[in-house]
Structure formats: C-alpha cells, structure tokens
Amino acid sequence: MSAGTPLAVLTNQTMQISKQEIRARWTSGTAIVLYVALLRMILYAIAGPNYGYFRDELYYLACGEHPAWGYVDQPPLIAWVAWLLQHTIGTSLYALRLLPALSHAVSIVLAGLLARELGGRRWAMFLAAFATLMCPVGLAFGHLFTMNAFDPVFWTAIAYCVARIVNREDQRLWLVIGALVGITLLNKYGIAFWVVGLLVGIAFTPLRDSLRQRWFWLTCAIATLIVLPNFLWQWSHHFPFLELMHNVRENGRDVVLAPLPYLKAQAEMIGYATGILVIFALIFLFTKAGQRFRALGWAYIIFLAMLMAMHGKMYYLAPVYPMMFAAGAVGFEIATARRAWVWAKPALTLVIAAISGVYAPLILPILPVNQFIAYEQKMGIHQQKFENQPEGKLPQLYADMFGWEQIAQTVAAYYHTLSPEEQSKTAIFANNYGDAGAIDFFGPKYGLPKAIGNHQNYWIWGPRQFTGESMIVLGEGHERNMQTKCASYSVIGHTDHPLSRPDEWLPIYHCRGLKPALPEMWPKNKHWD
C-alpha cells in the first residue's frame, strides 16, 4: 500500500459521512415540517387573488386608516397590521393575504416542533404538521386577512413554550408566554377563555410549582401591561364590545348549537379524519405517556365546555387544534409503534388528504365560480353556516367576496352627475360596514369621498363635516325611512350582484334635506351588531 492510500481512504470516508449528514438533514423531522409549510405557501400562490376582497377585509383596511387602541368590534392589532400593509407592500389581494398564509405556515411549523417537544419522532412531527395544513378551518383562516388568521400561530406558540417549561424547567419562558398572551389579546379576546382553562390545568398538574415563582407573576404583569391601553379604550367608550355582544345575542344573528351538534360541527370543521388525532391527544395527555403536559388537555376540555355553555361560534375553538394535532400525533405514534401497525400512519395520512381534498374547494377559492357551484351540487356538501344569513348561488364565505367594486362604480356614476358644489356637500352614508368599506377602498379610484356610517366603528368616526343636506344612502332596506327623513329622495341604483348575498340587494338612494340634520341625529343613530 502506498503512502497516499490511507489519506485517500480517510477522505472517502469523510465524504461519505458528509453525504450522510446532508441526507439526514434533508430528511429530518424539522425538514419535513418545513416542506409541509412550503406546500401552504404554494396554495397561497394559487388561491390568494381569487374571487375578490372579503367584506371584513375591507372593514379592517378602513380601521387601518384610523389607528387606535381599540374598536367597537375587535381589539386593535388587525387594524395596526392593515396600517402597516398600507404603508409597505400595499393592499392588493396578494399582499393582503400574504400574512394570513405565512401565519398558517408558521403554525404548521410550530405544530411539528411541538410534537417533537411532546416526545414525538419524525412521523409524529410530520403528522402534526400535515393535519394542521389540511384542517379545513385552518385553510380558511389562512386565506383571509382577518383576526382569525393570527390566533392559531399565537396559541400554538404559547403551548410550545409551556411544553418547553415542562421539559427544561426554564421558568424564564413564562415571560415569553406573558408577551404572547398580551399580544394575542390585542388580536382577539377569545384567548382569555383558553387561558382560564390553561390556568386550571396548571393548578391540577406539577406545573403549579410555577405559581410560586416570580417569573409567573411577572408574566401576568407583562400581559396586563400590554393589554391595558385597549382596556382603557374600551372603558373610556363605555365598553362597546360588550354592548355589541349583547346585541348579537339578542338579534339571533349567530347559529346556536346544542352540545352534540356542536361537537359534530367541530368534527366537520377540522375534516373528520383529523378528529382522530384529537381523540388520541386526549388519550395521550390524560394517560401516563403524556401526563407531564396534561395542562394542555385541561385547557382544551375547559375551553370547549365554556364555548358550548356560552353558545360561542363553532370556529372560536379553531386556534387550539394545531396543538391538539401535535399531542394526537405523538399519541398515535406511540399507539402504532408495533411493526403490525406500520401501515396505520400512512393510511391516516391518506385519509386526511382525501377528506380534506374533497372539502378544499369549499374553503379555498381554487375553482372558478361556475365550477365551484357545479362541484358543490355534485358532491352534495356545503360550507358550514355560522350565521343565520340567507344564501344565494354562493355560500356566505364566498358571496361576501363579490359586488363591492360594482357598488363603488354605481355610486360614482351618479355622484359625478352632480354639480361640483353639490358634490362637496354630498355624504356617502352606509348602513353596514361592508358597503362603507367598499366605498373607502374602491372609492378613491373613482373620485369618491370616504364613507360615513352608523355601523360598528364608523359610528365612532362620526359624520365629519357633513350635515345631511345631500346624502347618498347605501344599505337602507326600508323605503319608509327615506319618506319620513328626507325632504326629497330618489333611487339612483341598486347593489344587486348575481353572486353576492341576496339580503344585500338593496336600492341606493339620494336623500336631500335630511331631517333632523346629521349632527343632531348622530348620537341616536348607533348600529352595533
């Protein structure tokens, strides 16, 4: 053997080890989870700009033009994000829906990492991430620019931190949890109920030792300080959110379900097959295998019970599912560890993919409208209803994406027939935030002023300089109001669109000589529901 041979052999071995390391890195659990998250961004590229702006998206963009510490119907974070988009990448459909898609992708990654933190291996990480990707309600949340898009990533991050505290006993992570809870409360108030369940779970498990640590109480202080400005805003405005919730319950807008139908709705909402993982999550968390993380199980059960008792909307529970999928994936991995059950994991994956694939067109606008209508009729399945609203050709989720720019065009066509003097005095008044948001967003393109209105936060923004001397009125369903409140009026158009909600097909009026004048009638004209 020559003197150079040992070096060549060593080099070859080193190269083989290096290739093995690279291969292992590309096929690791973390890498696979990232691939699943990448699939979500591919879906964003396909579906992001389809159909049109959703009613609530237009309203949140309007709120972004009025930055504040609170709003009638939501905390301030969504409006701040809207303001940020307006001043950075813009508000095209692609730009507007980028952050929701990214949020869903991050929740996919966190679900996979949480599965690993709970003791899962590569299969469990993949299964948790894949279930989070394919869960129908998760896909729906990750498509639209709404508050719902951001809750799952915040809640899953909190659960991940709790698991790391259990595993590493690093009490300083409570500070991160405090910041996350405070920020999440600025996004949506629902997490307060889940936190109650989590605190009960902490009290019933060894995690209660944290209650004696200063870090836990510093966490409470951090969350309180973050949310305090919003609380003060609500207080200074006499808690409009509570008034709004009372009105919603009184007018019966939301679908109310008994406990068993509520549970059935949950199963449908998450795609049925992924419900198997929720069952395995509860088994895992309430048996010896996962008892260290049982606080997460208590949080889910108590939160579910509270929502059923309060008749909360079915999708309010959605942010807990990525963490339940993570726990369920670990439990499923343990239950199918024997060689005889080697087929179970790929079988469940295929079933999840098949069922969620069938439901995908119902919650992501991936089909042209005519094809979607035909698909819905052929399959005999429909979007879940969470509000008691009449439906036309399209279910509410999709119908609320059509007709908005046409409303602005119709108003603009008439507005520009007025003399410049009358235009300067003419307000565009909307009775609902959808019409108002449409005028605010599309109106500048057609030379229209910003809208005024009595619905939700538009009432707080007031009538501005307008007196009601001349007013274009949208969303008024009772012509009698025009007869009694206007010196004269005329119908100048309609808001009909063949794909929008039929209950929104109303005349557009031009009211002259409003009685009493806007500043006088405004305090009594509030419409919060």
Paired residues of 453 in beta bridges: 430
Q: What are phi and psi of 481, to 5 degrees?
A: -65, -35
Residues 493, 441: contact at Cβ < 8 Å? no
Tell me the per-residue pLDDT of 136-173, one tens digit each, with 9 for 90 and over.
999 999 999 999 999 999 999 999 999 999 999 889 99
CA distance 121 to 505: 54
Q: Which of 142, 162, 139 is CA-nearest to residue 150?
A: 142
> Which amino acid is present at 180?
L
Q: Provide the token pair at 73.
A: 């119907």
For residue 389, the model assigns a pLDDT of: 77
Mean pLDDT of the 310-327 span: 94
Half-sphere exposure of 419 (CA within 13 A, CB side): 2
**Local confidence band at 255 (pLDDT 50, 70, 90 cut-offs):** confident
**Local confidence band at 29 (pLDDT 50, 70, 90 cut-offs):** confident
Would the pTM count as exceeding 0.85? yes
Residues 411, 438: contact at Cβ < 8 Å? no
Tell me the per-residue pLDDT of 79-117, one tens digit each, with 9 for 90 and over.
999 999 999 999 999 999 999 999 999 999 999 999 999
Helix (H) or strand (E) holding 514: strand 507-514
Paired residues of 493 in beta bridges: 508
Tell me the per-residue pLDDT of 347-388, one tens digit each, with 9 for 90 and over.
999 999 999 999 999 999 999 999 999 998 888 888 877 777
Domain ranges of the chain: 26-238+255-363, 404-524
For residue 323, the model assigns a pLDDT of: 97
Q: What are phi and psi of 47, to 5 degrees?
A: -100, -15
Residues 171, 277: contact at Cβ < 8 Å? no
CA distance 152 to 135: 12
Compute CA distances 431 → 188, 236, 469, whole Å. Answer: 25, 25, 18
Half-sphere exposure of 326 (CA within 13 A, CB side): 29
Alpha carbon 340 to chain centroid, angstroms: 40
CA distance 295 to 320: 13
Residues 277, 325: contact at Cβ < 8 Å? yes
Does residue 2 register a pLDDT over 60?
no
Mean pLDDT of the 422-430 span: 96
Paired residues of 494 in beta bridges: 507
Rg (CA), the chain: 27
State the distance between the two ends of the chain, measured CA to CA, in whole angstroms: 88
For residue 185, the model assigns a pLDDT of: 97
Does residue 3 register a pLDDT over 60?
no
Helix (H) or strand (E) holding 470: strand 470-474
**Local confidence band at 414 (pLDDT 50, 70, 90 cut-offs):** very high
Alpha carbon 300 to chain centroid, angstroms: 19
For residue 1, the model assigns a pLDDT of: 46
Residue 361: exposure state from Cβ atoms within 10 A (0-12, 13-18, ≥19): middle
Tell me the per-residue pLDDT of 40-55, one tens digit each, with 9 for 90 and over.
999 999 988 889 999 9
Tell me the per-residue pLDDT of 205-218, one tens digit each, with 9 for 90 and over.
999 998 888 999 99
Counting residues of the chain whose pLDDT is more than 70, the rounded percentage is 96
For residue 368, say if its preceding peptide bond is cis, omega within 30 degrees of 0: no
Does residue 10 register a pLDDT over 70?
no
CA distance 508 to 439: 13
CA distance 157 to 414: 51
For residue 15, the model assigns a pLDDT of: 61
CA distance 407 to 379: 33
Residues 353, 134: contact at Cβ < 8 Å? yes
CA distance 342 to 375: 35
